[in-house]
Structure 1
Amino acid sequence: MTVIEQHDAPASTAERAPRGRRLRSLLGWAIVVALVLGGVFVATQVAVRMPDQRGSLDPESVSDSGAMALAQLLDDQGIEVSVFRSRAEARAALDEDTTLVMANPYTLTDDGITELIDPADRVVFLSSSTHLLTLLRLGDNAAANPSPVEADCTIPEFANVGTIRPDRMFAPGDGVEGCFGTEDASAVLVDEDDGTTRIVVEGARLFSNAYLADDGNAALGLALLGQTDRVVWYIPSFGDTDIEGEMPDSLGSLTPGWVTPAILLLMIAGLAAALWRGQRFGPLVAETLPVTVRASETMHGRARLTAKAGDAAHASEAIRDGSRRRLARRLGLAVNATAEEIADAASDRLRIPRGALHDLLAGPSPTDDPSLIDLARRLQELESAVDASTTVERRPE
């Protein structure tokens, strides 16, 4: 029975060794597969999210040029803000108690703009172009006036806005009322006709996250967009344009869509293989130096470096530290005694004023070589005097 057990034990040990190697190999491949799948997921997310379409006056953008602060301000006032990036969805969301808000719809044709704003009773353009002013017959451009201006018009919602600093002024057209400026140049154009309201303002800076808190910008934003219970905010983009045109072929358009994910996958797989097969460094091992460096050589080397750097303050501190240590030992004080304690003990021993020794042992550092030499000489004289007094005290009577 004993003989059988002795023969079976090595066989079982030999069977467990290959099994352990197989488990480690499977674990390594599992890690590689997990890394590859994670890389594919990241690459897919990057491909889906780019390019980023959030830009100026975007209510979902937190950048300085975005308008998320204004959207949150409206939400705090109980006004529902719905953001759309499709003109068809934005048009379908309009009703009688809704304000349609957008920046200059430069990606739409004249027919597309008209089709979008026709169902809306109240439309606010947060930026405009000369073509849009002409299309809506609101007016024309006027000379800019960066000075603060007030409402100065009959629109009731602008009564408590205060002053603003507009970046652009407009000349009102026939039947269009201008606010925040003069009769010939106004920052806000309001056209009310047959129950519909069309408003134009250049708000790229006024309503941005960076400048909304300045002057009366926030109050103006609430006055323009807070007159209805709901705001439909349309974001123009080339992805939602109705302008027909042919784009020239580029390298990006000619490249198949799977090329970029394949390159990223190969890079991640190569990195994973390098990490898997790479040799890891072990723990640090302390070893003795092959030679012994004498303390005097170290001292001279540091002295040369200090002299080359011209650091008189650092050199004086080293000289003072050595003098304080030697004086403390000779005066029977602790090694870590302070400069004040050493100066008091030395003044009692030598019968000289304490103030002079305080400045000598812990005073201002010298700034040049002559001052450093004078300090070293005075410290040497102090040590010699203490040595002499100690020798006299120890001499037998």
Structure 2
Amino acid sequence: MTAVDRTAGADPFAAEIGERRTRARSALGWVLIGVAVVLIGAVVTLLSSDGWREREPLDPEGAGPDGARAIVSILREQGVEVVEADRRGQALAALETPGTTLVITDPWYLSDDTILALADAADDTVVLDPSAETAALLAPGAEHSGFGDGPVEPACALPAAERAGAILPGRGFTAPSGVTGCYPVGDGHALLRSERPSPVTLIDGTELFDNAHLAAEGNAALGLGLIGTHDRVVWFVPSLADADDGEAAPQLGDLVPPWLTPAIVLLLVAGLAAAVWRGRRFGPLVAERLPVTVRGSETLEGRARLYARAADPPHAAALLRDGATERMARRLGLAATASRAEVADAAAVRVGGRAAVIRAILEDSPATDADLAEFGTRLRDLEDAVEAAVRTTSGPSAR
């Protein structure tokens, strides 16, 4: 019996409430997909934006404890133009404007020649995280002298230090001849001022001018006095790209707009959601009214032709065997899950035949179309015999 025959006695479209629930589930699925895409896009955009990416210490836009957004904001409020740079080429180009102070946060990536070239191009240079090598380069003879352990007065005649007063210093360096030292730390000073062709200041800004320490003692006043000496500041945060060649060609990420990456990710997520949506059905199958009524005999004939075209007698025989076994089990009063052996034994008792013969019929596996036709005939004869035996035993009321 076909699917059309089984549903012919019932009208699944009579209850409109079922259709409304189906449409509601479908609409809810689309809404959930849309919300998921929007949420994922928002998260990706936030994570890829400048406000969420990991920043270097003393980054001018860094809002974390080790960032420098606070002092940069104060400088801008006082009318100082702060130009951000993360490549040597950008910094050198920005320093072409006269009256500019250069701030280098961490020169670790830079070569000696690069550091000297930058310092010579600026009207005033402040190195906020100098290493011992950088200190010896810009103030020949300077060496590391320890760390500060409490508030220290300037003890020098540098105007910016005198106005700021006491600070909480970080690393200290010895002050060689010709170099001004302020804020004594161990055998040296926390601030070195070298009057090279242009003034250079060395100070541990990671312990003074980041967001976490700026408000302590006179740290903020000292930072503004050292960095805000001119109306323009180039704040240079060296990157790994400057390690070998500061004029290295821009990478692919430098050539595309910042919104491109989250847009690509959003499209990929949308494509994945569409693939999941089209790859499976949401909810159970819904009965659909066919444009025409197809008789069961036509469906049977069509499926028979498909099996014939497939040229797969064993598969067709398996379908015939399963159907016959199920029908005979039902007529013999067996469970629907009864095995072929159980059906064969029960059928042998009813028809008075040998169980081995009936089992052989059910276990046969034809290899050709002719064998399949003969197999079908034997199955039909066996079913007719079982039907006749059951009818004879039970009487007319059994049907």
Q: Is the 8 A contact 2:146 2:186 kept in 1?
A: no
- TM-score when scaled to structure 2? 0.53
Q: Is the 8 A contact 1:124 1:225 kept in 2?
A: yes
Distance 2:165 2:104 in 1: 24
- For 2:180, the aligned partner's letter is E
- For 2:152, the aligned partner's letter is V
Q: How does 1:358-373 map to 2 (within 5 A)?
A: none
Distance 2:277 2:210 in 1: 44
1:23 deviates by 6.4
Q: Is the 8 A contact 1:190 1:197 kept in 2?
A: yes
Distance 1:89 1:236 in 2: 11
Which residue of 2 is the match for residue 151 of structure 1? 154
Which residue of 2 is the match for residue 73 of structure 1? 74
Aligned partner (choices 185, 205, 208) of residue 207 of structure 2: 205
- Provide Cα deviations, 1:126-159, integer angstroms capped at 9, x if missing partner: 1111121122234111133423322222222222
- Provide Cα deviations, 1:309-354, integer angstroms capped at 9, x if missing partner: xxxxxxxxxxxxxxxxxxxxxxxxxxxxxxxxxxxxxxxxxxxxxx
SS of 1:63's equivalent in the other structure is coil
Which residue of 2 is the match for residue 62 of structure 1? 63
Over aligned residues, Cα RMSD in angstroms?
4.1
Distance 1:115 1:236 in 2: 14
SS of 1:187's equivalent in the other structure is strand
SS of 1:172's equivalent in the other structure is coil
SS of 1:159's equivalent in the other structure is helix
Which residue of 1 is the match for residue 334 of structure 2? none
- Provide Cα deviations, 1:226-258, integer angstroms capped at 9, x if missing partner: 1111111111222554369xxxxxxxxxxxx99
1:19 deviates by 9.4
Distance 1:272 1:164 in 2: 63
Distance 1:148 1:17 in 2: 79
- Provide Cα deviations, 1:269-288, integer angstroms capped at 9, x if missing partner: 79999xx9589xxxxxxxxx
1:176 deviates by 1.3
Distance 1:47 1:183, change over 3 A: closer
Distance 1:19 1:155, change over 3 A: same
- For 1:214, the aligned partner's letter is A
Distance 1:168 1:47 in 2: 35
Which residue of 1 is the match for residue 38 of structure 2? 38
Is residue 98 from structure 1 mapped to residue 100 from structure 2 by the alignment?
yes
Aligned partner (choices 128, 135, 149) of residue 126 of structure 1: 128
Aligned partner (choices 123, 133, 141) of residue 144 of structure 2: 141
SS of 1:106's equivalent in the other structure is helix
Percentage of matched positions with identical amino acids: 33
Q: Is the 8 A contact 1:164 1:215 kept in 2?
A: yes
Distance 1:271 1:198, change over 3 A: farther
Which residue of 2 is the match for residue 368 of structure 1? none
- TM-score when scaled to structure 1? 0.53
Distance 2:38 2:217 in 1: 49
- For 1:123, the aligned partner's letter is T
1:22 deviates by 8.8
- For 1:134, the aligned partner's letter is A
Deviates more, 1:132-141 or 1:37-46: 37-46
1:40 deviates by 5.7
Distance 1:46 1:268, change over 3 A: farther
SS of 2:150's equivalent in the other structure is coil
Distance 1:238 1:47, change over 3 A: farther
SS of 2:191's equivalent in the other structure is strand
Q: Is the 8 A contact 1:151 1:159 kept in 2?
A: yes
User: Which of the two has higher C-alpha Rg?
Assistant: 2
- For 1:78, the aligned partner's letter is G
SS of 1:143's equivalent in the other structure is strand
- For 2:155, the aligned partner's letter is D
Q: Is the 8 A contact 1:65 1:205 kept in 2?
A: no
- Provide Cα deviations, 1:94-126, integer angstroms capped at 9, x if missing partner: 222111112122122223333333311211011
SS of 2:103's equivalent in the other structure is strand
Which ranges of structure 2 fall in alignment gaps of 5 or more residues?
1-12, 247-260, 285-399
- Provide Cα deviations, 1:187-208, integer angstroms capped at 9, x if missing partner: 10001133x0111001212112
Deviates more, 1:29-38 or 1:184-193: 29-38
Q: Is the 8 A contact 2:148 2:186 kept in 1?
A: no
Distance 2:195 2:110 in 1: 23
Deviates more, 1:124-133 or 1:179-188: 179-188
Is residue 228 from structure 1 mapped to residue 230 from structure 2 by the alignment?
yes
Query: How many residues are matched?
Result: 252
SS of 1:160's equivalent in the other structure is helix
Distance 1:133 1:57 in 2: 19
Distance 1:17 1:165, change over 3 A: closer
1:71 deviates by 1.2
Which residue of 1 is the match for residue 312 of structure 2? none
Distance 2:163 2:47 in 1: 47
SS of 1:204's equivalent in the other structure is helix
Q: Is the 8 A contact 1:32 1:269 kept in 2?
A: no
Which ranges of structure 1 fall in alignment gaps of 5 or more residues?
1-12, 245-256, 280-397
Structure 1's consecutive aligned runs of 4 or more residues displaced over 4 angstroms after TM superposition are: 16-26, 257-273, 276-279
Q: Is the 8 A contact 1:127 1:201 kept in 2?
A: yes
